Amino acid sequence: MPALIQSSEPLPEPGTADARGLVAIGGDLSVPRLLEAYRRGIFPWDVDPVTWWSPDPRGIFEWDSLHRSRSLERTLRRQCFQVTFDQAFTAVMRGCAARAPGRYSTWIHPAMITAYTNLHLCGHAHSVECWQSGVLVGGIYGVAIGGLFAGESMFHRVGDASKVALVHLTDHLREKGFSLFDIQMVTPATQSLGATWIPRTEYLKRLAAAAAKSDCRF
């Protein structure tokens, strides 16, 4: 059974997760709690109550695994989008939370947007934005700690906008010396872009080394 925790209690070890990856239920979404969770390989999902997860296996992008299709390469060459970093963090989160065709619910509730915006204001959460004619048409956001970047969600309102954001993010992270790009779980969309699974034990070893890096600045 997952642990039931109060706000003042530490999170259990990731290895105590059940078969679904659920580690604990309860606690809050304060900045210290979120930083504790990500450093330990745990992330929140849903609110009221907050649930904490550490799936096995874990989804990541390796630096050289990102697949750029011919159509995506053409889009990149045409420079259809203006790409920025950390210019519209909360708007990107709201874009990710918006109900897309075929999506009936979202885990990015208002409390989650507030929590991650606070994390952004403290310098630990970041966004990549894609614009067309001054309109936000796609983006991605996530959490950076040391050499870890944990991608949380991405969205697009124009074809290829989120993929372009992902390409720019991956290039940026590699240039800045990040060593681990966590995406938590592999979906059909991210698998088509080259995402892969690794065992949780391997992920936690790589996380410890990444989080300890002090020379990475997003």
Q: Per-residue pLDDT tens for 111-168?
A: 999 999 999 999 999 999 999 999 999 999 999 999 999 999 999 999 999 999 999 9
List phi, psi (to 5°) of 141. -140, 160
The β-bridge relationship of strands 135-145 and 148-156 is: antiparallel
List phi, psi (to 5°) of 110. -55, -40
The residue segments making up the domain with residue 118 are 60-197
Q: Specify if 36 maps to a domain.
A: no
Query: Which residue has tokens 């906008």?
Result: 161
Q: Specify if 23 maps to a domain.
A: no
**DSSP string for residues in 142-209:** EEEETTEEEEEEEEESSTTHHHHHHHHHHHHHHHTT--EEEEES--HHHHHTT-EEE-HHHHHHHHHH
Q: Specify if 15 maps to a domain.
A: no
Number of domains in the chain: 1
Q: Specify if 22 maps to a domain.
A: no
Q: Specify if 70 maps to a domain.
A: yes
Q: Specify if 87 maps to a domain.
A: yes
Helix boundaries (H) for 7-69: 31-39
Instruction: Report the distance separating Cα 52 and Cα 47, nearest Å.
Output: 10
The CATH number of the domain holding residue 179 is 3.40.630.70
Q: Specify if 145 maps to a domain.
A: yes
The mean per-residue pLDDT over the stretch 14-19 comes to 96
Q: Per-residue confidence at 104, pLDDT binned at 50, 70, 90?
A: very low
Q: Specify if 66 maps to a domain.
A: yes
Q: Residue 105's pLDDT is what? A: 52
Q: What is the pLDDT of residues 17-59, one digit of tens each?
A: 999 999 999 999 999 999 999 999 999 998 889 999 999 999 9
Q: Residue 102's pLDDT is what? A: 46
Based on its alpha-carbon atoms, the radius of gyration of the chain, rounded to whole angstroms, reads 17
Q: Residue 122's pLDDT is what? A: 97
Indicate left, alpha or beta for 40 from its phi (over 0: left) and psi (-120 to 50: alpha): alpha
Burial class (CB in 10 A: 0-12, 13-18, 19+), 7: exposed
Q: Per-residue confidence at 103, pLDDT binned at 50, 70, 90?
A: very low
Instruction: Tell me whether the omega of the peptide bond preceding residue 57 falls within 30 degrees of 0, making it cis.
Output: yes
Instruction: Give me the chain's average pLDDT, please.
Output: 94
Q: Residue 190's pLDDT is what? A: 92
